[in-house]
Amino acid sequence: MRKVKLSSAYFGKEEADAVAQVLTTQVVNMGQEVKLFEEELREFFGRNDAQVTCVHSCTAALQLSVQASDISIGDEVLVPTFTFVSTFQAVRANGAVPVPCDVDLDDGFIDLNDAESRLTGKTKAIIPVLFAGCSSKIDKVYQFAKAHNLKVIEDAAHCFGDENIPNRDGIFCFSFDPIKNISCGDGGCVLTTHTEITERLKDMRLLGVIGDTERRFQGKRSWNSDVKELGWRLHMNNIAATIGRAQLAKFSEIKMLRQRNANMYLTGLASIPEIQLFPINSKTAVPHIFPIIVKNGRRDELQKYLADAGIETGIQYKPNHLLSYFDMGYALPNAEKLYSEILSLPVHPLVSEDDMVYIISNIQSFFRNT
């Protein structure tokens, strides 16, 4: 029976050769490869007025961005409950309180009316999550933030390669974990036009040691330096960076394959009334996941049907307000409804056109014959 995985990295000889080359140098910690990756990412984003800081993960990117935005103990941050728990943990790691907000049913984006009802005198920021690459409402977040004097940190873990992302002046946190649009094995980065934020990020990722980034890029050590704020060991290493550089070099291929698969779903599933599609713009976005909403309480049936056909699917995500640690004692009905109906389908580059036809035909068969 055919087997189709929900998610997969897209590694090949290029990544293996790059890692082998780094190993021959015996310099595997943070150094020239990280410097080159940051420069190549900056060029990729097309923002000469912005800087890139590479770190251990997108969680680290979020955590450090919250800290660099001077959000700390007792402060509150508005976060859509429908996101991976890392978004909430990144806020909590700074001693701040992530305040769960409901989401819009059509795209999982933060419901700004609900967010407004959660505002208090302690609210300092909002973290919009660009779920499944859906970002058409982001301008409203910046308007909301300006009206309420809030800082904005974008969780763009699903959005690497989206042509619209770099056009805004903000703080963007990207993910390079094994199943994202490009991967370093594990990794992430912060893109921002705010010079003072970048300067702090580069120190904080290296335990707060002032100027350690530049010394490491020069192959030097910091023997006589200072620390002025809390820092962490959250930098990227040369092995991860060289994998990321190899991935970036073949991103046009990755983009083409992901967009092809997304377009096949958009065409093949559009006529099924029991399915609601997310408003993914596959011309500008590069889908990391492809979620659908299965109506009439049939999500679990469809998931089992596809599993029996060898097709792996996922349920992303359990709302954070339903997790014991982040329970604030109130319901968020849209997020809970979405959680009961959402199903993610395979869209990664290793899913062939034949696989796509197989998946779509099985979904069509389910609704036609059951």
Looking at the fold, whether 287 and 190 belong to one and the same domain comes out as no
Could you tell me what percent of the chain has a pLDDT over 90?
A: 92
pLDDT at 114 (0 to 100): 98
From the number of C-beta atoms within 10 Å of its C-beta (0-12, 13-18, 19+), residue 228 rates as exposed
Helix (H) or strand (E) holding 342: strand 342-345
Looking at the fold, whether 214 and 67 belong to one and the same domain comes out as yes
Residue 123 lies in a domain: yes
In the block, tokens 């208090």 appear at 120
324-328 average pLDDT score: 97
pLDDT at 165 (0 to 100): 72
Looking at the fold, whether 242 and 338 belong to one and the same domain comes out as no
What total of structural domains would you count in the chain?
A: 2
Residue 333 lies in a domain: yes
pLDDT at 19 (0 to 100): 98
pTM as predicted: 0.96
pLDDT at 166 (0 to 100): 56
Residue pair 115/123 in contact (Cβ under 8 Å)? The answer is no
DSSP, res 206? B
- What is the Cβ-side half-sphere exposure of residue 75, based on CA atoms within 13 angstroms? 21
How would residue 161 be classed by pLDDT, with cut points 50, 70 and 90?
Answer: very high
Q: Which of 209, 261, 266, 260 is nearest to 232 (CA)?
A: 209
Looking at the fold, whether 168 and 208 belong to one and the same domain comes out as yes
DSSP, res 194? -
pLDDT at 48 (0 to 100): 86
Looking at the fold, whether 97 and 185 belong to one and the same domain comes out as yes
Looking at the fold, whether 316 and 214 belong to one and the same domain comes out as no
For the four alpha carbons of 234, 240, 246 and 251, in that order, the dihedral sign comes to: negative
pLDDT digits (tens, 9 = 90+) for 306-318: 999 999 999 999 9
Looking at the fold, whether 231 and 294 belong to one and the same domain comes out as no
Phi/psi at 344 (5° precision): -95, 135
Question: CA 178, CA 348: separation in Å to the nearest integer?
Answer: 11
User: Residue 52 maps to which CATH number?
Assistant: 3.40.640.10
Looking at the fold, whether 244 and 262 belong to one and the same domain comes out as no
Looking at the fold, whether 307 and 190 belong to one and the same domain comes out as no
Question: CA 295, CA 341: separation in Å to the nearest integer?
Answer: 6
pLDDT surpasses 90 at 209? yes
pLDDT surpasses 60 at 320? yes
pLDDT digits (tens, 9 = 90+) for 329-346: 999 999 999 999 999 999
pLDDT at 67 (0 to 100): 98
Query: What six digits make up the tokens of 243?
Result: 């994998």
pLDDT at 323 (0 to 100): 98
Looking at the fold, whether 334 and 315 belong to one and the same domain comes out as yes
Last residue within a domain, chosen from 207, 223, 249: 249
Residue pair 248/182 in contact (Cβ under 8 Å)? The answer is yes
pLDDT digits (tens, 9 = 90+) for 167-195: 678 899 999 999 999 999 999 999 999 99
Looking at the fold, whether 231 and 364 belong to one and the same domain comes out as no
pLDDT at 282 (0 to 100): 78
pLDDT at 107 (0 to 100): 94
pLDDT surpasses 70 at 79? yes
pLDDT surpasses 80 at 164? no
Quote the domain boundaries for residue 69. Answer: 13-249
Task: Specify the 3-state DSSP secondary structure of 9.
Answer: coil
Question: CA 215, CA 196: separation in Å to the nearest integer?
Answer: 19
Residue 121 lies in a domain: yes
Could you tell me what percent of the chain has a pLDDT over 70?
A: 99
Question: CA 345, CA 281: separation in Å to the nearest integer?
Answer: 17
Question: CA 94, CA 83: separation in Å to the nearest integer?
Answer: 18
Q: DSSP of 38-107, one letter per residue?
A: HHHHHHHHT-TT-EEEEES-HHHHHHHHHHHTT--TT-EEEEESSS-HHHHHHHHTTT-EEEEE-B-TTT
Residue 64 lies in a domain: yes
1-18 average pLDDT score: 96
Residue 2 lies in a domain: no
Distances (CA, A) of 114 to 211, 314, 339: 42, 27, 18
Last residue within a domain, chosen from 249, 272, 287: 249
What rounded mean pLDDT belongs to the chain? 96
Residue 365 lies in a domain: yes
pLDDT digits (tens, 9 = 90+) for 88-107: 999 999 999 999 999 999 99
How would residue 370 be classed by pLDDT, with cut points 50, 70 and 90?
Answer: confident
Query: Which residue type, as a one-letter code, is found at position 152?
Result: V
In sequence order, the 6+-apart residues with CB closer than 8 A to the CB of 59 are 86, 89, 90, 188
Last residue within a domain, chosen from 215, 249, 283: 249
Residue 8 lies in a domain: no
User: Residue 326 maps to which CATH number?
Assistant: 3.90.1150.10
pLDDT at 169 (0 to 100): 82
Looking at the fold, whether 278 and 157 belong to one and the same domain comes out as no
From the number of C-beta atoms within 10 Å of its C-beta (0-12, 13-18, 19+), residue 195 rates as exposed
Residue 204 lies in a domain: yes
pLDDT at 81 (0 to 100): 98
For the chain, percent helix, then strand, then coil, each to nearest 5?
A: 40, 15, 45
Question: CA 163, CA 132: separation in Å to the nearest integer?
Answer: 14
